[in-house]
Amino acid sequence: MTSPMQLPSELWLQVFSFLSWRDKLSVRCTCSHFKHLLDKSRPLWEGFSVILRDFSRYNRPFWRSLAQRHVGRVLMRSGKRKYLTQLSTWLPALSALRLDDWREGSIDELKRFHRLQHLSLTTCTTALKNLDFLFHLRHHLTQLSLCNVQLTCTASHLLAAISQLTRLTSLLLHHDGNLRVLTLSGVLTHLTDLKHLSWTMITYKTLPQDFFSPAHLAAGGGDLHLSDLQLLNYDAVVTQKVLQPLSHLRSLSVFHLYSVPGPTCHLQTWLMSLPQLCSLTVYGGHPLAAYANYLPWSLLSLTLCVDLEPEDLQVVSLRVPHLEHLHLEPWSSSSNLVRLLPQLFPHLRTLRIRHHHVSDGDFLQLQQLQQLDTLEILDSYYKPEPQVDPSWVVNEPGPRLLQLISELQKLTNHRVRVITTSHRDLLTCHCI
């Protein structure tokens, strides 16, 4: 018989391509032959992310292995400027970098990364004195995220620094309300390629007419090319005239500031102004009944983490009969809602729900969703001994859930892929 080592390298690489990153790392440790094959095959590690902390632990063989795999995405925790210098020496072609808990007041060493396209700064314990380092990244940076970052510079300096990043397609700025920006039109007119914008709205009570675009451009049809907009801590009054420049918007996410909102549901104005919206996400705010009748028929994806009743979902099914993606986390118990989904939304392809307090029969009724291909369970945990130690929680699928998943897959001839653990992008913040 042929020894495994005598098989062609191309065959092994094809086998390895089906493995998860964790399994690839395990196989790499089995023998020098597999280690060589894995380290020398760049396509096997595309999109691979590495978390780095305590740089004193990393030796030359470690850095050499990362360089051989052409690692392009790194998350650095509790970093310092000298660590960036070391990182740039071994991975000069880094394309994505997240600095978490940055410890110094300057990041000028970022100019060493000549191919950096995605930069994320999160939870910096030391205030950044300025954003001059962005000047060195202006020719290649396409995604910028600033989340919970202390800034001692003025808002005008911040906007001026961001405005020079003319290649940006994605901008995220989340703060605690200390940033006072009267309008975004000044920066948005410079970022003509911007498609995704995520902004904290805690300081706005009423959005001025030129908030998104200068009045003279908005009046002349100067629409922005934003396709995805996320608003955090939102509770601002808005008019349809303010929203005119957002005619290209396809995805809207609203994370409300108050769980008990004021008398006016501002989301109604948004929905009336965006008739071609394809994706809507709502966290908190008014109950679904306040805006269910305003949902545009074009919606294909809907996320609801709000207060709602079964009759509200019936209204939704009439307004958006072709819904394909649903994420449902009602504030009240969902035990009487899951059973309605196959009849109300027969075209669902992906579904995200919680399974606790849902009966086995109602859960298995999801087999009736003939086009469903992905089901994500958002609460995959269980208590092994609730009577003895109710505080003991295991964060993995319990025996009951595993049995339900097995039965559902049998009923659907394994058509439905069930996910019990969400994998977040390491470079994103945790606000959303």
Work out the number of other CB atoms within 10 angstroms of the CB of residue 233. 22
E strands present in 156-307: 170-174, 196-200, 228-234, 251-256, 279-283, 301-305
Give 43 or 226, the one with higher predicted confidence: 226
Closest by Cα among 386, 366, 365, 391 to 376:
366
pLDDT in tens, 41-84: 777 777 778 999 888 899 998 898 888 888 899 999 988 888 99
What's residue 335's pLDDT? 65
pLDDT given at position 217: 57
Q: Mean pLDDT in the chain?
A: 88
For the chain, report the end-to-end CA distance as a whole number of angstroms.
54
Nearest by Cα to 225 from 267, 268, 270, 195: 195
- 120 versus 103: which is more confidently predicted? 120
377-409 per-position pLDDT tens digit: 998 888 888 888 888 888 889 999 999 999 999
- Residue 118 and residue 97 in contact, taking contact as beta carbons nearer than 8 Å: yes
- Integer Cα distance of 109 and 119 in angstroms: 13
Residues with Cβ within 8 Å of 187's Cβ and at least 6 positions away in sequence, in order, are: 159, 162, 163
What span, in angstroms and rounded, lies between the C-alpha atoms of 77 and 98? 8
What are 160-211's pLDDT values in tens digits?
Answer: 999 999 999 999 999 887 788 889 998 999 999 999 999 999 888 899 999 9
Q: In the structure, what pLDDT confidence band is assigned to residue 5 with cuts at 50, 70 and 90?
A: low
Number of CB atoms found within 10 A of residue 335's CB: 14
Residue 297: its pLDDT value, please?
95
Residues 6+ apart with CB under 8 A from 168: 141, 142, 143, 144, 162, 191, 193, 194
Longest dimension (CA), the chain: 78
Owner of token pair 């992905």: 374
Cα–Cα nearest to 307, from 263, 260, 342, 344: 260
What is the Cα–Cα distance from 332 to 107, expressed in whole angstroms? 46
What pLDDT shows up at residue 42? 73
Residue 43 has a pLDDT of 76
The mean pLDDT value for 360-368 works out to: 95
- Listed in sequence order, the residues at least 6 apart from 405 whose beta carbon sits closer than 8 Å to its beta carbon are 377, 397, 418, 420
The residue with greater pLDDT, 126 or 287, is: 287
Mean pLDDT calculated for residue range 323-351: 91
Distance of alpha carbon 16 from alpha carbon 45, whole angstroms: 11
The band of 333, judged by pLDDT with boundaries at 50, 70 and 90, is low
pLDDT of residue 33: 83
Q: Residue 296's closest CA among 268, 327, 324?
A: 268
Residue 60 structure tokens = 């030359």
pLDDT per residue over 255-280, tens digit each? 997 766 678 899 999 999 998 999 99
pLDDT of residue 215 exceeding 80? no
Residue 216 has pLDDT above 60, yes or no: no
The model's pTM is: 0.88
Instruction: Report pLDDT for 19.
Output: 81
**Cβ-proximal residues to 388 (8 Å cutoff; 6+ apart), any chain:** none
Of the candidates 203, 268, 269, which has an alpha carbon nearest to the alpha carbon of residue 234?
203
Can you tell me the mean pLDDT for 207-228?
75
Q: DSSP per residue over 73-118, as a string?
A: EEEEES--HHHHHHHHHH-TT--EEEEES--SS--GGGGG-TT--E
Q: Is the pLDDT of residue 311 over 90?
A: yes
